[in-house]
Amino acid sequence: MIKLNQLLLVIIKYSQWLFISWFVIIAILTLLPGSALPHISWQFISIDKTVHIVLFAVLVLFGLLGVENNRLKIGPWPKLTIIMGSIGYGYILEYLQSYVPDRSYDFADLTADCVGTLVGYGLFLGITIILSKTG
């Protein structure tokens, strides 16, 4: 069984490729026509918003791990660029959805994207603390 630290080191090593791949995956999933997506409904919480949070949390986590470990080189303020870029990316995708059949701009989805960005930042901080204590 792979240890958590080993997994984190592999993720860090490939973080730039994971970030780019995840960026493309999000675009594909969010710009598919609504009829191509399964309809899943929970009574407790919207699965759609949960998916948005997870997608953007993972995107930000990969991006921040990449810039922290010099795998991604993005301007003078790389962490801020990842965070603000993710929010902007969420807005652009929501706007583009208004032109996709059976999809629409949804402010609640954009809010979930922003929450996911914050969750990703929190995960990054937690992982940074874990690695600093074990490294």
Side chain identity at residue 120, one-letter code: G
> Is the CB of residue 82 less than 8 Å from the CB of residue 60?
yes
Would you state the structure tokens that stand for residue 106, as one six-digit string?
Answer: 């949804």
> Is the CB of residue 100 less than 8 Å from the CB of residue 126?
no
What average pLDDT does the structure give for the chain? 87
Kindly report, residue by residue over 14-29, the tens digit of the pLDDT.
999 999 999 999 999 8
Q: Name the pLDDT band for 84 (thresholds 50, 70, 90).
A: very high
Residue 49 three-state SS: helix
Q: How far apart are CA 42 and CA 92, in angstroms?
A: 27
